């Protein structure tokens, strides 16, 4: 059954919160088909980009199925749904990650492990399983993949206090990715998300993310702040046509700072969500995560109605995400 269509009963804020979650899920599912493929290979198969969620890819995903990106974001989302006043949100998220890893996960055959899990994520979760402490896990400095950035979105959506948003973004990242490039990227990303769902323009949202990065890096010459500056310079459409620029030496293949830069470029792109996400996938390599991270910002910017209906009806957790988003989001904000 297709998910409910956007209705006029949603406040603008509710629409943006729902749009952010579905944008992440849709970007993940769109990009999963072409994960690991080069820009040149994608250009030869889809000269104008892949515009439908069709599944497949290296892990033979059913169309619209959650990869590890959406599954782990779901782990954070369920933590915010279930949190009680004295709970540690990072511990709740970490416990959900362990359930996901060992197969105690709704939507998957009991006992079956994830089809795909990153090395830093697996290492961090093993350390978390041993310590039970989200602040004493992580894969260590030097592991700067995008595996915590891909899942951090719910904090930006559901933690209204700016200081707590920063703290929770850092601590939930630290469970698996405790390198400062990862923790600061998650905090800066969620600062942008919070501005977008409040109805502020994309440029203001990026400035908020840059300000938080500068605060956490003790100045504006840190690596996360620099990555956001790169995002301001590059153009998604140009990269879709020509491939990643030389300054992105990892070719958008999973380095957290390149994924963050690409997301900044995406949210500053004046086109609609669909065209931007199609072009993000055209760039190649870590197509599912790059599109998931960009899709979260674009959905927060443009709202639920920006997600194509043909995409929404295929999303594995589309109904669930919408239901939780509406339960956790008030209708009082009218921006």
Number of domains in the chain: 1
CA–CA distance, 236 with 243 (Å, rounded to integer): 9
Confirm if 25 and 315 have CB atoms less than 8 A apart: yes
**Domain presence at residue 138:** yes
Q: What is the mean pLDDT of each run of 10 residues along the chain (335 residues)?
A: 53 97 98 97 97 97 96 97 96 97 84 88 95 91 94 98 98 97 98 98 98 97 97 98 93 96 98 98 98 98 98 97 92 38
pLDDT score at 333: 39
> Which residues define the annotated binding site for Mg(2+)?
67-69, 286, 288-289
**Domain presence at residue 54:** yes
Among 8, 3, 14, smallest CA distance to 300 is for 14
- Phi then psi for residue 332, to 5 deg, are -75, -30
Sign of the dihedral defined by the CA atoms of residues 180, 183, 186, 188, in that order: negative
CA–CA distance, 105 with 118 (Å, rounded to integer): 18
**Domain presence at residue 106:** yes
**Domain presence at residue 2:** no
**Domain presence at residue 80:** yes
**Domain presence at residue 102:** yes
DSSP, collapsed to helix, strand or coil, labels residue 145 as: strand
The CATH number of the domain holding residue 200 is 1.10.4080.10
Confirm if 175 and 125 have CB atoms less than 8 A apart: yes
Give the tens place of pLDDT for each residue, 88-98: 999 999 999 99
Among 272, 203, 206, smallest CA distance to 237 is for 272
pLDDT score at 331: 41
Give the tens place of pLDDT for each residue, 136-157: 998 888 899 999 999 999 999 9
CA–CA distance, 29 with 310 (Å, rounded to integer): 12
CA–CA distance, 320 with 323 (Å, rounded to integer): 5
**Domain presence at residue 6:** no
Question: What is the pTM for the complete model shown?
Answer: 0.95
Task: Compute CA distances 18 → 149, 152, 181, 276, whole Å.
Answer: 19, 15, 28, 18
pLDDT score at 330: 64
> Which residues define the annotated binding site?
67-69, 286, 288-289
**Bridge partner residues of 326 (DSSP):** none
**Domain presence at residue 4:** no
Owning domain of residue 196: 12-328
Token pair recorded at residue 201: 């323009």
Give the tens place of pLDDT for each residue, 170-200: 999 999 999 999 999 999 999 999 999 999 9
């Amino acid at each position: 059954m297709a998910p409910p269509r956007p209705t006029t009963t949603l406040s603008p804020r509710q629409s943006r919160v729902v749009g952010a979650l579905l944008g992440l899920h849709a970007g993940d599912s769109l990009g999963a088909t072409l994960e690991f493929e080069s820009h040149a290979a994608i250009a030869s198969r889809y000269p104008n980009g892949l515009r439908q969620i069709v599944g497949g890819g290296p892990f033979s995903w059913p169309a619209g199925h959650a990869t590890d990106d959406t599954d782990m974001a779901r782990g954070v989302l369920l933590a915010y749904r279930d949190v009680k006043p004295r709970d540690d949100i990072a511990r709740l998220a970490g416990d959900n990650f362990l359930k996901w890893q060992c197969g105690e996960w709704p939507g998957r055959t009991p006992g079956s492990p994830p089809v795909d899990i990153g090395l830093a994520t697996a290492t961090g979760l093993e350390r978390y399983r041993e310590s039970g402490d989200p602040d004493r896990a992580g894969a260590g400095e030097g592991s700067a993949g995008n595996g915590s950035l891909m899942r951090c979105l719910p904090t930006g959506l559901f933690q209204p206090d700016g200081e707590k948003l920063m703290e929770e973004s850092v601590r939930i990242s630290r469970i698996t990715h405790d390198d400062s490039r990862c923790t600061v990227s998650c905090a800066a990303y969620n600062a942008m998300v919070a501005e977008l769902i409040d109805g502020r323009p994309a440029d203001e949202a990026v400035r908020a993310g840059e300000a938080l990065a500068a605060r956490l890096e003790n100045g504006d010459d840190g690596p996360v702040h620099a990555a956001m500056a790169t995002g301001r310079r590059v153009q998604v459409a140009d990269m879709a046509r020509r491939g990643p620029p030389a300054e992105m030496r990892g070719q958008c293949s999973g380095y957290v700072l390149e994924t963050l830069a690409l997301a900044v470029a995406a949210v500053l792109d004046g086109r609609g969500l669909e065209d931007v996400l199609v072009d993000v996938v055209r760039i190649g390599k870590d197509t599912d995560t790059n599109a998931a991270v960009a899709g979260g910002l674009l959905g927060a910017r443009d709202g639920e109605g920006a997600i194509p209906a043909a995409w929404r009806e295929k999303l594995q957790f589309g109904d669930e995400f919408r239901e939780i988003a509406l339960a956790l989001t008030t209708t009082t904000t009218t921006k």
